[in-house]
Amino acid sequence: MGFKKDKIKTKRQADLTPLFDYEPQQLDLGKASIHDMSLIQAQYYDFLVTKTGYLVCLLKGTGINLDLLNASEQEDVFNEFNAFLMSTLEEADVHQYLDMTIPVAFDDYVLFWKKRYLQVREEEPDNQAKITLLASYVDYYQTLQSTNEMSTKVHVIVLREKLADKSKTSLELAALHLTEKSQHFIRELESSLESYDMAVTRLNAHEIRGILKHLFNFSQH
């Protein structure tokens, strides 16, 4: 009487979770795809998972208009920000600061004027002057959006948390730690620059995708 041989895994093999062993390679421009060149593996709620084994979140800070400050006040801003940076050097991890120029998003403006245009065309069909004016507003903001003629400066802070392995438990634990880290970072930075109405927010999943879209394809073509 014969028995079918099954593959038997030891407990050590069953419990073994793959570790992150990806190492960034030199970019092969013109041949590698965006996914091949990017360090981003996936998005997890309001976080990014990198191929190198980190969970990442993005914070956005409002800018300080230095042109409105005199030389002494400008020096105070830099001193206070430098003091904040020095205080973060004691931490084992590294924070990244990015200043990016991205096109201004006119989606809300276009949607608002489209609604007004349709409303007036329905309620005041004889008022052609007003209808034409509203249509010009829609065309104006759509043109600005499609040509990217207006841009704005965005200040982004990148925080990260190391993943122990590729298990779901490790991902959830890292998300918890990174959330606490980002909340602490926001409180500390806003406290350091509270005299200048500095505000910092954590970007959600939709906002992160918007930042990545402009990094990969600024012209949107």
Tell me: the pLDDT tens digits for 55-110? 999 999 887 777 777 888 878 887 887 777 777 665 556 678 888 777 777 888 89
Using alpha carbons, select from 23, 53, 180, 153 the residue that is nearest to residue 97: 153
Extents of the domains making up the chain? 39-103+153-219, 106-147
Cα(first)–Cα(last) distance of the chain, in Å? 68
The lowest-confidence range among 3-7, 40-44, 101-105, 129-133 is 3-7
Percent of the residues in the chain that have a pLDDT greater than 90, as a whole number? 33
Q: Could you read off the pLDDT of 20-29 as tens digits, one per residue?
A: 777 777 766 6
**Average pLDDT in the chain:** 80
Percent of the residues in the chain that have a pLDDT greater than 70, as a whole number? 81
Radius of gyration of the chain (CA): 25
Confidence of residue 176 (pLDDT cuts 50, 70, 90): very high
Give the pLDDT score at 49. 94
Give the pLDDT score at 15. 47
Does residue 2 carry a pLDDT above 50? Answer: no
Does residue 160 carry a pLDDT above 80? Answer: yes
Give the pLDDT score at 192. 81
DSSP letters, 176-214, are: HHHHHHHHHHHHHHHHHTGGGT--EEE--HHHHHHHHHH
pTM, full prediction? 0.69
**What is the rounded distance in angstroms from the CA atom of residue 214 to the CA atom of residue 46?**
18
**Helix boundaries (H) for the chain:** 11-15, 34-37, 71-88, 107-123, 128-147, 168-192, 205-216
Question: What is the topology classification, in CATH, of domain 39-103+153-219?
Answer: Alpha-Beta Plaits (3.30.70)
Q: Say whether 36 sits in a helix, a strand or coil.
A: helix
